Amino acid sequence: MLHLPLLRAGRPYRSLDVARLTDVRSGEPVVEVSQANPGLIARDLGRVAEGRRALARMTAAEIVERSKEAAGIFVEGEVRVGEGDDSMLQGPEEYVRHLSSTTGMPHALARANMGKIHFVLANLDTVLQGLSRGLDPAVLDRGWGEEDGRTVSYRCLTDTLGVVLPSNSPGVHSLWIPALGLKVPVTLKPGSREPWTPLRVTQALIQAGLPREAFGFYPSSHAGAGEILLRSGRSMLFGDRSTVGAWANDPRVQLHGPGWSKVILGADQASAWRDHVELLATSVAANGGRSCINASGVWIEASKPGLGREVAEALAERLAGIEALPLDHPDAGLAAFPDPSLAHRMSDLVDGHLAAGGAEDLTARYREGGRVVEVDGYTYLLPTVVWCDDPGHPLARMELLFPFVSIVELPADELLDRVGSTLVASAITQDPESIRRLVECPDLERLNLGAVPTSQVDWDQPHEGNLFLHLYQQRAMQAAIAV
Amino acid sequence: MTGELAGSLEARVVEARLRLDAWVREVVAWHFDPATGCPYWLERARELDFDPRKDVRGFADLARFGHFDDEALRGGPVRRWVPKGLADQPVFVFETGGTTGVPKARINVRDFEVDYEEFSGRLSDETFPRGSDWLMLGPTGPRRLRLAVEHLAQFRGGIAFHVDLDPRWVNKLVRDGRHQALEAYKEHVIDQGLTLLRAHDTIRCLFTTPKLLEALAAKIDLRRAGIRGIFCGGTEMNAQFHRFAREELVAGIDFVPTYGNTLMGLAHSPTWTEGDPYDIVYYPPQPRAVTELVDPDDPQREVGYDETGRVMLTTLTKEFFMPRLLERDEAERAEPVDAYPWDGVRNLRLLSSLESSVSVGVY
The pLDDT of residue B100: 63
Residues 6+ apart with CB under 8 A from A77: A91, A92, A204, A207
For residue B346, the chain A residues in CB contact (below 8 A) are none
In a domain, B181, yes or no: yes
- Distance, in Å, from the CA atom of A449 to the CA atom of A429, rounded to the nearest integer, reads 7
Length of chain A: 483
The pLDDT of residue A460: 65
The pLDDT of residue B54: 96
Residue B97 has pLDDT above 90, yes or no: no
- Single-letter residue type at A280: L
User: SS3 string of chain A?
Assistant: CCEECEEECCEEECCCCEEEEECCCCCCEEEEEECECHHHHHHHHCCCHHHHHHHHCCCHHHHHHHHHHHHHHHHHCCEEEEECCEEEEECHHHHHHHHHHHHCCCHHHHHHHHHHHHHHHHCHHHHHHHHHCCCCCHHHHHCEEEECCEEEEEEECCCCEEEECCCCCHHHHHHCCHHHHCCCCEEEECECCECHHHHHHHHHHHHCCCCHHHEEECCECHHHHHHHHHHCCEEEEECCHHHHHCCCCCCCEEEECCCCEEEEECHHHCCCHHHHHHHHHHHHHHHHHCCCCCEEEEEEECCCCCHHHHHHHHHHHHHHCCCCCCCCCCCCCCCCCCCHHHHHHHHHHHHHHHHCCCEEECCHHHCCCCCEEEECCEEEECCEEEEECCCCCHHHHCCCCCCEEEEEEECHHHHHHHCCCEEEEEEECCCHHHHHHHHHCCCEEEEEECCCCCCCCCCCCCCCCCHHHHHEEEECCCCCCCC
In a domain, B106, yes or no: yes
Domain assignment of residue B94, given as a range: 69-271+286-348
Q: Is the dihedral of CA B363, A129, A92, A8 positive or negative?
A: negative
The pLDDT of residue B1: 47
The pLDDT of residue A461: 64
- Is residue A373 within 8 A of residue A384, CB to CB? The reply is no
In a domain, B21, yes or no: no
For residue A16, the chain B residues in CB contact (below 8 A) are 238-240, 243, 278
pLDDT digits (tens, 9 = 90+) for A12-59: 999 999 999 999 999 999 999 999 999 999 999 999 999 999 999 999
The pLDDT of residue A73: 98
The better pLDDT of the pair B11, A249 is held by B11
- Distance, in Å, from the CA atom of A302 to the CA atom of A362, rounded to the nearest integer, reads 19
ipTM of the complex: 0.86
Confidence of residue B236 (pLDDT cuts 50, 70, 90): confident
The pLDDT of residue A463: 60
For residue A243, the chain B residues in CB contact (below 8 A) are 359, 363
The pLDDT of residue B245: 96
- Measured at the CA of A342, the angle between CA A336 and CA A343, to 5 degrees, comes to 50
- Is residue A24 within 8 A of residue A336, CB to CB? The reply is yes
In a domain, B155, yes or no: yes
CATH class of A261-449: alpha beta
- Cβ contact, residue pair B179, A226, below 8 Å: yes
The pLDDT of residue A114: 96
- Distance, in Å, from the CA atom of A216 to the CA atom of A11, rounded to the nearest integer, reads 8
Chain B interface disruption, residue of A13, A14, A16, A348, most B CBs within 10 A = A16
The pLDDT of residue B261: 85
- Cβ contact, residue pair B363, A346, below 8 Å: no
Share of chain B above pLDDT 70, in %: 94
For residue A249, the chain B residues in CB contact (below 8 A) are 180
Q: How many Å from the N-terminal Cα to the C-terminal Cα in chain A?
A: 57
- Distance, in Å, from the CA atom of B208 to the CA atom of B38, rounded to the nearest integer, reads 34
Q: Read off the pLDDT of each residue in B141-163 and give the average, rounded to a whole number.
A: 95
Q: Read off the pLDDT of each residue in B192-201 and give the average, rounded to a whole number.
A: 96
- Measured at the CA of B226, the angle between CA B223 and CA B229, to 5 degrees, comes to 70
Residue ranges of domains in chain A: 3-256+464-475, 261-449
In a domain, B174, yes or no: yes
The better pLDDT of the pair B174, B326 is held by B326
Q: Residue A462 CB: number of other CB atoms within 10 A?
A: 18
- Cβ contact, residue pair A292, B362, below 8 Å: yes
> Of B148, B184, B186, which Cα lies nearest the Cα of B167?
B186
- Is residue A398 within 8 A of residue A354, CB to CB? The reply is no
Cα Dmax for chain A: 78
The pLDDT of residue A6: 98
Q: List per-residue pLDDT tens for chain A, 483 residues long.
A: 999 999 999 999 999 999 999 999 999 999 999 999 999 999 999 999 999 999 999 999 999 999 999 999 999 999 999 988 999 999 999 999 999 999 999 999 999 999 999 999 999 999 999 888 889 988 999 888 888 888 899 999 999 999 999 998 898 999 999 999 999 999 999 999 999 999 999 999 999 999 999 999 999 999 899 999 999 999 999 988 888 888 988 999 999 888 999 999 999 998 899 999 999 999 999 999 988 899 999 999 999 889 999 999 999 999 999 999 999 999 999 999 999 999 999 999 999 999 999 999 999 999 988 999 999 999 999 999 999 999 999 999 999 999 999 999 999 999 999 999 999 999 999 999 999 999 999 999 999 999 999 998 876 665 667 899 999 999 988 878 776
Give the domain CATH number at B193: 3.40.50.12780
**Kind of pairing, strands A472-475 and A150-156?**
antiparallel
List A448's β-bridge partners, or say none. Answer: A426
Domain count, chain B: 1
- Cβ contact, residue pair B362, A400, below 8 Å: yes
> Of A67, A32, A61, A74, which Cα lies nearest the Cα of A186?
A67
List B230's β-bridge partners, or say none. Answer: B206, B255
- Distance, in Å, from the CA atom of B350 to the CA atom of B327, rounded to the nearest integer, reads 9
- Cβ contact, residue pair A290, B210, below 8 Å: no
Residue B7 has pLDDT above 70, yes or no: no
For residue A342, the chain B residues in CB contact (below 8 A) are 358, 360
Q: What is the dihedral of CA A104, A108, A109, A115, to 10 degrees?
A: 140
Residue of A nearest to B211 (CA): A39
> Of B180, B248, B190, B181, which Cα lies nearest the Cα of B216?
B190
Chain B interface disruption, residue of A15, A22, A37, most B CBs within 10 A = A37
- Is residue A210 within 8 A of residue A156, CB to CB? The reply is no
Residue B57 has pLDDT above 90, yes or no: yes
Q: Is the dihedral of CA A226, A232, A234, A238 positive or negative?
A: negative
Judging by beta carbons within 10 Å of its beta carbon (0-12, 13-18, 19+), is residue A321 exposed, middle or buried?
Answer: exposed
Distances in Å between the alpha carbon of B112 and those of A389, A464, B152, B229, B292?
65, 56, 10, 21, 22
For residue B363, the chain A residues in CB contact (below 8 A) are 166-168, 191, 238-240, 243, 256-258, 292, 401
Query: Helix A60-76 crosses helix A107-122 at what angle (to 10 degrees)?
Result: 160
Residue B109 has pLDDT above 80, yes or no: yes
> Of A126, A118, A14, which Cα lies nearest the Cα of A64?
A126
- Distance, in Å, from the CA atom of A406 to the CA atom of A354, rounded to the nearest integer, reads 12
- Cβ contact, residue pair B360, A240, below 8 Å: yes
Which of B239, B359, B363 is facing A16, going by the closest CB pair? B239
The pLDDT of residue A162: 98
A261-449 and A3-256+464-475 share a CATH fold = no
The pLDDT of residue A27: 93
Least confident piece of the model among A263-267, B176-180, B211-215: B176-180
For residue B179, the chain A residues in CB contact (below 8 A) are 226, 229-230, 246-247, 250
The topology under which CATH files domain A3-256+464-475 is Aldehyde Dehydrogenase; Chain A, domain 1 (3.40.605)
In a domain, B74, yes or no: yes
- Is residue A200 within 8 A of residue A90, CB to CB? The reply is yes
The better pLDDT of the pair B96, B248 is held by B248
The pLDDT of residue B175: 83
- Is residue B217 within 8 A of residue B249, CB to CB? The reply is yes
In a domain, B60, yes or no: no
Shortest CA gap A18–chain B (Å): 9
Confidence of residue B358 (pLDDT cuts 50, 70, 90): very low
What mean pLDDT, rounded, does chain B reach? 91
Q: Is the dihedral of CA B169, A231, A245, A191 positive or negative?
A: negative
The pLDDT of residue B355: 57
- Distance, in Å, from the CA atom of A472 to the CA atom of A107, rounded to the nearest integer, reads 37
The pLDDT of residue B295: 97
Residue B357 has pLDDT above 60, yes or no: no
